[in-house]
Amino acid sequence: MKTLRTLGERKIIEIIQNHLSIMPKMPIPFGDDVAAYDVGRGKLAILKTDMLVDKTDVPKGMSRWQAARKAVVMNISDFAAKGVNPLAMLVSLGLPRNLSQKDVGEIGDGLNAGAREYGTYVIGGDTGESSDLIISLSVFGVAEEGKLMLRSGAKVGDFVVVTGFFGKTSAGLKILVDKLKAQPALRKALVDSVLMPHARLEEGLVLSQTGAVSAAIDSSDGLAWSLHEISKASNVGFSIDKLPIASEAEKFAEANKLDPLELTLYGGEEYELVLTIKPELWKRAKRAVEKVGGQLLRIGKVTTEKRVILDTDETKRAIEPHGYEHFK
C-alpha cells in the first residue's frame, strides 16, 4: 500500500480528481490555478481555495500575523496569474487549543492586512479546533469569458516572460530553516522575501487587459515547475536564454558555495508570474506592466520541441521538472 509520502502532493490530487465526477461544460479544466463556473451572459465566477498549514508552510521566524497575511498572498497570487480581481474571501481557521486571545487577534489582523493590500475583504468564515494552525482561504471573483489567462494557450514563437527576479526566497529559506549565514543587509532582503511575499496582482490585472498573454501561471512551486506546467498544458516547449537570477541570490550563492541556478529554478513560495506573450504585443504588455510600477523580463521563447531547455552563452542543459511538493 502506497503512503502519502511515496505518492506526493501531485499524485494525491490526481487520485482525488479521479474519484470526482466532472461537471459538464467546465469552463476551465481541473488543475489550472483557479476553478470557474459559467454564470451566463459571458461571465465566469472564479473560485480558488488554498490552505496554509503551519507545520509545512510557516518557517521558523514567521509570525502568526505574517502567516495569516501569507495565506492571503498565496490565494491572491493565483488570481493574479489568471488576471482576475479578487472580490471577496472567506476563511476557515483551524486553531490549536494553546493559542491565546492575542494570537487570534494577530491572525485576524494578518488576514485583514493581506486582504486590504489587494483591495479585497474577508466577508465570512468558520473556525474549529485542530492540532496545527490551519488557515484555509477561498476567494471569489468574476471574469469575462475569453479574457482569463489560462495555462494552456502558449504558442510556438511566443516570448517567455516573468514579472521579477528569482532565487531570493530559496536563499531566505536556507537562512531561516538551514541556518545559513549572510551579511545583515543581504540577510534582511532574503528573509523579508520569505516573510513578506507579494502577489503580482496589479501586473496580472493589467496584463489580462492587453490581450497579449497566451498562457500564465504563478511561480509558487518554483520557476522550473511553472515552466513545465505551461509546457504540459500548452503542449509546447521552452528555450530559456536568460535566467532571471536575483542579484541577492547570486551574492548569497557565492558566499555559501551554492549553485545560483538551483536557487533560481527550484525555489518556491515565490509569487512571480510566469507568462507567455504574443511577440507582436510584447511592447504593449511591457508598457502596461511598467505603468503600474512593475517589470516584465524576457527570459526565452516558446519552442515546438516539448522540452524545457536552458540555453545561454555559458550553458546548455535540460531544466528538470522539480519543484516544491507537500508530503515529499
- Which of the residues 101 through 130 are near a second copy (CB under 8 A)? 101-102, 104-105, 107-109, 111-112, 115-116, 121-130
Say what the alpha-carbon torsion angle 49, 294, 314, 304 is, to the nearest 10 degrees. Answer: 60
Q: Which of 62, 76, 81, 93 binds a second copy (CB under 8 A)?
A: 93
Instruction: Provide the 3-class DSSP secondary structure of residue 311.
Output: strand
Question: Is residue 295 involved in binding a second copy (CB under 8 A)?
Answer: no
Question: Is residue 326 involved in binding a second copy (CB under 8 A)?
Answer: yes
Report d(CA 130, CA 118) in Å as an integer: 28
Please count the residues of this chain forming the interface with a second copy, following the rule CB under 8 A. 78
Work out how close the CB of 287 gets to a second copy at its nearest, in angstroms, rounded to a whole number.
31
Question: Is residue 241 involved in binding a second copy (CB under 8 A)?
Answer: no
Q: Nearest 5 degrees, angle CA 305-CA 238-CA 193?
A: 155
Question: Is residue 309 involved in binding a second copy (CB under 8 A)?
Answer: no
Q: Which stretch binds a second copy (CB under 8 A): 30-38, 186-194, 248-256, 258-266?
A: 30-38
Instruction: Look at the chain and count its residues.
Output: 328
Residue type present at position 291: K
Question: Is residue 16 involved in binding a second copy (CB under 8 A)?
Answer: yes
Q: Which stretch binds a second copy (CB under 8 A): 138-146, 163-171, 187-195, 219-227?
A: 138-146
Q: Which is nearer to a second copy, 21 or 60 (CB)?
A: 21
Pairing label, strands 237-240, 308-311: parallel
Work out how close the CB of 17 gets to a second copy at its nearest, in angstroms, rounded to a whole number.
8
Q: At what angle do helices 168-176 and 247-255 cross, to 10 degrees?
A: 40
Report d(CA 161, CA 285) in Å as an integer: 10
Report d(CA 59, CA 192) in Å as an integer: 12
Question: Is residue 39 involved in binding a second copy (CB under 8 A)?
Answer: yes
